[in-house]
Amino acid sequence: MKILVLNPPFLPKYSRTSRSPAVTHGGTLYYPFWLAYATGALEKDGNEVILKDSPADGSTVDDVIGLVREFNPQIVVLDTSTPSIHNDVEVAAKLKKVNGCFTVLVGTHPSAMPEETFKMNDKVDAIARKEYDYTLKELAKVLEKGGDLKNVNGLSYRKSGKIYHNPDREPIQNLDEIPFVTQVYKKHLDVKNYFYAAAEWPMVMIMSARGCIFRCFFCVYPQVTWGLKFRPRSAENVAEEFEYVTKEMPEVKTIGVEDDTFTIDKERVRKICRLLIEKGINKKIHWWANTRADLDYETMKIMKDAGCRLIIVGYESGSQELLNNCNKGITLENSLMFAENARKAKLLVHGCFIIGLPGETKETINQTIEFAKKLKPDTAQFFPLMLYPGTRAYEWAKQKGYLTTEDFRKWVDVKGHHETILSMPGLNSDEIVRWCGIARKRFYLRPSYILYKIKQSLLHPSEAQRTIKSARTFFKHLFS
């Protein structure tokens, strides 16, 4: 079948696949990697597919309407996010009017709130919930043969004015059988459109596993989409994709391993690293990975030897009480040791911090800012607590009466930057956002940090390129 897989138009450079979808201050734009994985599965099954990323290439709704008229797909799959859901549903309705295509929404928001999403517009035909690669593949077969949609697990659909929810689909167990996502990028996307502020550019993003065993109460993908079980690709399969990138995409300087927690199975990580070293890939390309603050030095060291340049960690807070309140499962001592070991291993660190965790006060915010300065990551982000349907954080705020609105358009401001609809006693939503700005200024405008970045840029010209590219966007927001 002809299938259009669409990251729909919304705001320019809107990073829909990010764990906190928004237009970022540092210019980061994620690949639509979940759409791309589904595209690979659909193409492998014999479908004719176009993957279109509108926020990345700047295309408008009119542009996409023109594409639908020209390509005439039978199915249009549209990615979604909480802040853009009203827009995404409207785009689906407009495209259905063009040629009567079967419209399918995917993503965390409709997975968590399928009934509410269907009620937004009667032109939405279906929702492929949670992990949707094989749900879409099976849906295409059923539609092509005129079969019954009730047999497609993981699908919610509309029929004769009624909504039906089929049983959940079992998660994919053999992730090695899905085509490399980088093959899909090479065929459908322009790698120069994508950017990660802490990484060398151009870059690609891959997943070496799905699911996460940890229980952080705010993290949306493990709770809504992939589940709390760890499903890894084989070490050999991951190393083969690294090799593919070095041979077929020579312009790429960095590979981002965007697993929720790449280092869950440390022995597997070491095996991947040994393979990269044996193949000489460590001398050809750098990479980064999401880690956890309990990562040991020995694993960091072999990651560095295997070409890893950057590790990303959720420090979250400088208050142990707040870490406990959000079920983070780490200690401040873990974070301090992690930072020391990363410096020893000569790995750059991007540290993530959250303002607005349960129990947050102005005092704990100041503790977090001072803790961030003490940890000395290469870069840091300070986000308000973002509350997404389907997470325990969302339910906590709703039960406490801390939500200022349930209008999902308010999750970002008019420019697409993060807002928060969380308002707690003693700390309202405006103050939480304002404190994020204060934290960024106090972290980045330190003379010691500025001197560090100047020295880094002089010693490593490749670092200067990504720093300058990010700073052009970031400093506009820092002083706004």
Same domain, 141 and 216: no
What are the CA-CA distances from residue 414 to residues 23, 43, 411, 419 (Å)? Answer: 10, 37, 10, 10
180 falls within a domain: no
Same domain, 274 and 338: yes
3-class DSSP string for 145-173: HCCCHHHCCCEEEEECCEEEECCCCCCCC
| pLDDT single digits (tens) 375-396 | 999 999 999 999 999 999 999 9
Q: Which of 253, 390, 368, 252 shows the shortest CA–CA distance to 319?
A: 368
Predicted confidence (pLDDT) at residue 473 exceeds the cutoff of 80: no
Which of the residue ranges 137-146, 247-256, 465-474 would you say has the lowest mean pLDDT? 465-474
Q: pLDDT at position 475, please?
A: 54
Same domain, 422 and 464: no
CATH number (domain holding residue 440): 3.20.20.70
How many domains does the chain divide into?
Answer: 3
Q: pLDDT at position 210, please?
A: 97
Domain encompassing residue 478: 450-480
Q: What is the mean pLDDT of the chain?
A: 95
Q: Average pLDDT of 162-166?
A: 97
Q: Which of 143, 165, 187 is the C-terminal boundary of a domain?
A: 165
Same domain, 344 and 209: yes
Q: pLDDT at position 477, please?
A: 54
> Model-level pTM?
0.94
CATH number (domain holding residue 45): 3.40.50.280
185 falls within a domain: no
Same domain, 474 and 454: yes
Same domain, 236 and 361: yes
| pLDDT single digits (tens) 189-238 | 999 999 998 889 999 999 999 999 999 999 999 999 998 999 999 999 99
176 falls within a domain: no
Same domain, 84 and 200: no
Q: pLDDT at position 7, please?
A: 98
Q: pLDDT at position 456, please?
A: 80
Predicted confidence (pLDDT) at residue 463 exceeds the cutoff of 80: no
Q: What is the rounded CA–CA span in Å between residue 251 and residue 187? A: 15
| pLDDT single digits (tens) 84-118 | 999 999 999 999 999 999 999 999 999 999 999 99
Helix (H) or strand (E) holding 324: helix 320-325
Same domain, 455 and 418: no
Q: pLDDT at position 480, please?
A: 56
183 falls within a domain: no
171 falls within a domain: no
54 falls within a domain: yes
Same domain, 24 and 148: yes
Contact predicate 343/417, CB 8 Å = no
Same domain, 476 and 416: no
188 falls within a domain: no
Q: Which of 165, 187, 215 is the C-terminal boundary of a domain?
A: 165
172 falls within a domain: no
Same domain, 294 and 373: yes
Same domain, 291 and 440: yes
Q: Average pLDDT of 47-60?
A: 98
Residue 162 is encoded by which pair of tokens?
């009624």
- pLDDT-derived band at 452 (thresholds 50, 70, 90) equals confident
Q: Which of 165, 185, 216 is the C-terminal boundary of a domain?
A: 165
Q: What is the rounded CA–CA span in Å between residue 227 and residue 363? A: 35
